[in-house]
Amino acid sequence: MEDTNRREELKDFFLGIKNCLECELSGTRTKLVFGSGNAFAEVMFVGEAPGKNEDLQGLPFVGRAGKILDDLLGSIEMDRKQVFIANVLKCRPPGNRDPKLEEINTCKSYLFKQIDIINPKLICTLGRYSTQLLLETTEGISGLRGKTFNIGGRTILPINHPAAALYAPSRMEILEKDFQRIKEIMDSGSRSGNNSKVAPKIEPSDFEEAKGKIEEEQLGLF
Ligand code: URA
């Protein structure tokens, strides 16, 4: 796909699914949380599912776990504008319960399509659900975190979910260490892939054009 079309394709995809009625979560959600970030990102993060704040705002990782994610990105001199952040489920499970298998199976094609469009070199899976989905395994996160896997020409790096550090502060050190792995992988010359652009600046006119057409804030595309 032409790089210049990537943002447009993501926007169109968002518009096509934002009123999704494919599962029962559509009946309880406030907003579908498509994901946000850079359409040209080389690094993509995949969490579990939107929580309360994400559901209200339509943006991923805007609550306490999001603050941790921001801090971790900052620790490797990165920010949200350079990466793309999505979830396995696009809609909040009521009461933040665990995703159900049938919900994951219904929703997963949306994530796969996002990966297809963005074409990141590295996908960092946050926690059990995204790790098991993308690695097609039932193995637990503790045995997988910090290791890299090559799936379809991309690197997958499972790490703990940032929320883990909310409940066990000692996990923060592990997360920081794993974020250093992200930096190492991205700095290493051994990466292979076909992204030719990294976080290009988006002109203000891009936003003007989009205004009124879509909820740009919810899409949060850089
Ligand atoms: N936890 C997630 O997995 N995703 C979010 O968007 C927020 C919290």
Q: Is the CB of 129 under 6 A from ligand 1?
A: no
Ligand 1 pocket: which of 32, 61, 141, 160 to mutate (most atoms within 8 A of CB) = 61
Instruction: Flag residues of the chain having pLDDT under 50.
Output: 190-213
Q: How many residues does the chain have?
A: 222
Residue 218 has a pLDDT of: 74
The reply to whether 180 falls in a domain is yes
Look at residue 220 and tell me if it is in a domain: no
Give the domain extent around 135.
3-188
pLDDT at 4: 66
Distance CA 171, CA 179 (A): 12
What tokens were used for 93? Answer: 């499970």
| Residue 215, domain member (yes or no) | no
The answer to whether residue 199 is domain-embedded is no
Q: What pLDDT is recorded for position 221?
A: 79
**Is 133 contained in some domain?**
yes
Helix, strand, coil share (%) of the chain residues, nearest 5: 45, 15, 40
The CATH number of residue 128's host domain is 3.40.470.10
What is the structure's pLDDT at 129? 98
Q: Is 219 in the pocket of ligand 1 (CB under 6 A)?
A: no
CA 203 / ligand 1 centre spacing (Å): 29
User: Could you give the CA distance from residue 65 to residue 71 in angstroms, rounded to a whole number?
Assistant: 10
For residue range 103-133, what is the model confidence (pLDDT) as tens digits?
A: 999 999 999 999 999 999 999 999 999 999 9
- Indicate the residue type of 187: D
Q: What is the CA radius of gyration of the chain?
A: 16
Largest CA distance in the chain: 47
| Residue 203 within any structural domain of the chain | no
pTM of the model: 0.88
Q: Which of 86, 121, 129 is nearest to 191 (CA)?
A: 121
What is the number of domains present in the chain? 1
Nearest alpha carbon to residue 112 among 35, 22, 217, 199: 35
Is 157 inside any structural domain?
A: yes
Is residue 218 assigned to a domain? no
pLDDT given for residue 222 in this prediction: 73
